[in-house]
Structure 1
């Protein structure tokens, strides 16, 4: 990537990352499962069945040790209404098959898209990883031919290994271009490999397996630990495999490789391409989806587990088969992820239609993780998240949709007004069904309504009490650049500003579609939060922290002292300041050549010293460097474990002044 392009991307991401967050994110979705007795579920999986229903499963507990107890049967929850509600349908208890359910986890769920062996399209396969060293196989497979109502044992896969303790993890199914079932998995069994990604193929629908091969790995580099394969086939027939990569810079990045047939992936030492844009990239345990949205290439969507640390709302998307990526709001708001409390640990993105995307994932709620689901309407690099809070800006006059005053009663006519930063101009968009949303005022919980089911052009839009009728349903059609037309479900008329150049106070009406900008509304989300970042040293694999007021680097990623927000520069809004999450109002600033964490005293000197020019990394891709705002040419860098500023002249200087923003 050219440096100028990277700088442009950094500037765009900076604008996104430092937006004001006046309200708390609400898009935590619908609860599938929540249990105080099982506070750490993970590996949420979901599929769409041939009958249109959804099926979801997960592992009930994080496998911290090999001697744990208390695991219950694997549950399967069904939704018959597109993910709005869920109920327990069935269970698989490994104990009933001579296995130890306390040693099972890291599951997958798959629907055969076509006949494989004797098993027709629509057959369900469920697989678990077994880390019981006394069991001869590491992966066990069950099948269902009645949409998950009942299950039968199907087969075993991946022999334990000669030493008895080697394991495999994270099975993932697909069907090759010639119709054979294939399973990809992370493999710790092979001599010389810390871990590799391997595959085996079945010609009889998964009853027997063979043709073992390593598709990502390096026996000459013990640091390499690729894993978590997720595979999807796109409309031109290409297979994409996304995986996490530990041990190669940028560490933990989600990468992808491609195959023409699902079998041949090129050299095993080829790590493919990183998913990301600017200084941000997807990181760890990828969840992926592909949507054929009618464009030439369709759309790929990717989200990593630790992406949610820096941005609880975002995922990456590509409309050119991974050549470029942008960030877009993900269906679920997921916060609080780290290695010890695995929120977002390997969730699922599931297409429901050409424009609707479901996410099922673990969400941190209080002292537990819950399995939750939520949907978003995805339109290229724009999305509308169910439960998200937005302001709507008219393209013609730049005025906002407004409820005309706090506490307005039902029947009040909706107007347009200049941006007040008030909740009378904030609207919660809740997905209902069949492509329609409800627009609810954050201020008074009343909703947009076509009064009395009127169908005449010019009818004013009012606020009404929610009644779930089509007069209160609105369909959003994307016009580009986050602009949408908004059509009422009853009248078929468009939300309109009642004339070009209409002044503040003008009533909002409905009118027939006319392709004018008076009917185009820009959706700007207001419930996102400023990302929380960690700054990892490029060459030390340690993180920027503070101790006794001094900036330093240390090993811990998840300590309170290593959490930062990149906010608008105190001295220059096009630059950044680095504010401590743990100590709000305290910023990294340079003084006497050293970097300190100090409280903002509002002096001009402090603001200048605490402002940094965000630059592309002086060395390495996907990284950043921080140039002093008031001493050009001097960069924040580490030396002997402490932070300071200095000019840069050597390769070591460049490495010491380069950081991964995570």
Structure 2
């Protein structure tokens, strides 16, 4: 996969992420999970320099909010309860999936709730706060978002496209059948839709209908002349996964024919990394504004006893995602717990990334199987201040040299393997802002590419030094 353009701009006032072309984004690193027992996470980076995070609490009885100046800081940030469910009537049960948006100088939280006398009469509601700091001031109940169908509805999100604010949400239509579909409508104000909603997605693929027929949890990012809407499908167990709808930025978004659906999930459970049921995502940006960050929940185990909705252990996670050469998003796989991986881009062949193919390490362009080109830079197996490069999709496998060739192989615990898989991280030999990796057991030999394959070789010429230099992304 080639990085065609790295991020840019968070259009906070519009309540969505709008990316603009820039240079390749520098590497970021976070530690997962970010927050235990917090599902349906929504994180926004505001113009005041703070990230604001809300999510579903497993008791389904309140709306919580926290803020920090860094994404990782949200993990330890104090959490405030900004609203509690009613004791009777509407908004008295199943407080689900809050989202926080800043619109026209005010904060809004969209959420779903049931009734005390019918906990499954789920509808969408809105809170408003005029304070500059949403953790201060008071939250006013703007009431229910009225839709033509008075049926089960949830997961409202809002975005602006070509000057029009839209609401996207999930709702049941008895005429369609059980489960939920995705709908879209323009808005006259932050709590009112106008016109006839468009039904833009119905769960039809087998991966959308496991356990339940579900399209829900929409999130929007705009890039490369297109509008991308992720959504979640199937029951909220290990079958939960993310799909993708795509529309041209010049199309009429209210025309269902403008939207095409991915034939396969774009993000799903991964047994190798022990991540199950990833979904209900949102988008934000890194602290420097240059990298796209996927925010989502999952569980660290597959098997659940009883109803998944009663299992409290969905947790908030974050990881960087990238863009394919064709301008579509590439989310890769839900990475293992711990530090998030990075990619190594060739310094002198900048469309190519280090990846493994049949376990042989090489550089290649257009690596659409993103995880093949992602490595966790961890404490060196050989110690001594070294680092090791662990495969993302084969945890426990490391980049190591064998007969001076670079391979991705399982750690067999031997002293030889530990030494072969350990490198000293150096300032880039061709550019000090980049990196080079020197073998610990063969000093003077560096990871370098030659005819697109990776070797541990000595360097002497300017070409050698460039071949042994990589940019972390």
Alpha-carbon shift at residue 300 of structure 1 (Å): 2.0
> What is the match of residue 461 of structure 1?
451
User: Unpaired runs of 5+ in structure 1?
Assistant: 1-26, 28-47, 51-79, 93-103, 115-119, 389-429, 454-458, 475-488, 490-662
Pairs within 5 Å for 1:301-320? 301-306=229-234, 314-319=243-248, 320=251
Instruction: Quickly say closer, same or farther: Cα 1:444–1:260, change in 2 above 3 A.
Output: same
Instruction: Quickly say closer, same or farther: Cα 1:385–1:229, change in 2 above 3 A.
Output: closer
> What is the match of residue 184 of structure 2?
256
Q: Give the whole-Å Cα distance in 2 for the aligned partners of 1:356 and 1:201.
A: 28
Q: Give the whole-Å Cα distance in 2 for the aligned partners of 1:174 and 1:257.
A: 17
Report if the CA contact (8 A) 1:129-1:138 is conserved: yes
> What is the match of residue 126 of structure 2?
199
Instruction: Quickly say closer, same or farther: Cα 1:448–1:285, change in 2 above 3 A.
Output: same
> What is the match of residue 86 of structure 1?
31
Q: Is 1:377 aligned with 2:323?
A: yes
Q: Give the whole-Å Cα distance in 2 for the aligned partners of 1:127 and 1:387.
A: 22
Q: Is 1:141 aligned with 2:65?
A: yes
Q: Which one of the candidate residues 249, 267, 275 is aligned to 1:332?
A: 267
Aligned to 1:234, the other structure's residue is in SS state strand
Aligned to 2:142, the other structure's residue is in SS state strand
> What is the match of residue 467 of structure 2?
471
Q: Give the whole-Å Cα distance in 2 for the aligned partners of 1:304 and 1:383.
A: 16
Report if the CA contact (8 A) 1:358-1:373 is conserved: yes
Instruction: Quickly say closer, same or farther: Cα 1:280–1:236, change in 2 above 3 A.
Output: farther
Q: Give the whole-Å Cα distance in 2 for the aligned partners of 1:159 and 1:366.
A: 31
Pairs aligned (count): 320
Residue deviations 1:6-51 (CA, integer Å, cap 9, x gap)? xxxxxxxxxxxxxxxxxxxxx9xxxxxxxxxxxxxxxxxxxx999x
Q: Which one of the candidate residues 9, 24, 43 is aligned to 1:110?
A: 43
Alpha-carbon shift at residue 348 of structure 1 (Å): 3.6
Q: TM-score, normalised by structure 2?
A: 0.51
Q: TM-score, normalised by structure 1?
A: 0.38
Q: Is 1:288 aligned with 2:219?
A: yes
Pairs within 5 Å for 1:405-424? none
Q: Which one of the candidate residues 159, 163, 168 is aligned to 1:242?
A: 168
Pairs within 5 Å for 1:50-449? 82=27, 85-86=30-31, 105-106=38-39, 108-111=41-44, 113-114=46-47, 120-126=48-54, 128-129=56-57, 131=59, 138-144=62-68, 148=73, 151-152=77-78, 154-162=80-88, 166-176=93-103, 178-189=104-115, 194-204=121-131, 205-206=133-134, 207-217=137-147, 224-231=151-158, 233-248=159-174, 249=176, 251-259=179-187, 261-266=189-194, 271-275=197-201, 283-293=214-224, 295=225, 298-306=226-234, 314-319=243-248, 320=251, 322=253, 323=255, 324-328=258-262, 332-334=267-269, 343-350=277-284, 358=294, 360-362=296-298, 373=319, 375-378=321-324, 382=328, 431-432=343-344, 437-440=352-355, 442-448=357-363
Report if the CA contact (8 A) 1:180-1:203 is conserved: yes
Q: Give the whole-Å Cα distance in 2 for the aligned partners of 1:203 and 1:358.
A: 28
Q: Give the whole-Å Cα distance in 1 for the aligned partners of 2:453 and 2:357.
A: 12
Pairs within 5 Å for 1:418-567? 431-432=343-344, 437-440=352-355, 442-448=357-363, 461-465=451-455, 471=467
Q: Give the whole-Å Cα distance in 2 for the aligned partners of 1:302 and 1:255.
A: 13
Residue deviations 1:493-524 (CA, integer Å, cap 9, x gap)? xxxxxxxxxxxxxxxxxxxxxxxxxxxxxxxx
Larger-gyration structure (1/2): 1
Instruction: Quickly say closer, same or farther: Cα 1:153–1:355, change in 2 above 3 A.
Output: closer
Q: Give the whole-Å Cα distance in 1 for the aligned partners of 2:276 and 2:358.
A: 34
Aligned to 2:110, the other structure's residue is in SS state strand
CA RMSD of aligned residues (A): 5.3
Aligned to 2:108, the other structure's residue is in SS state strand
User: Unpaired runs of 5+ in structure 2?
Assistant: 2-7, 11-24, 209-213, 305-313, 335-341, 366-428, 431-448, 458-463
Q: Which has the higher contact order (CA 8 A, sep 6+)?
A: 2
Pairs within 5 Å for 1:556-635? none
Q: Give the whole-Å Cα distance in 2 for the aligned partners of 1:311 and 1:88.
A: 18
Alpha-carbon shift at residue 186 of structure 1 (Å): 0.5
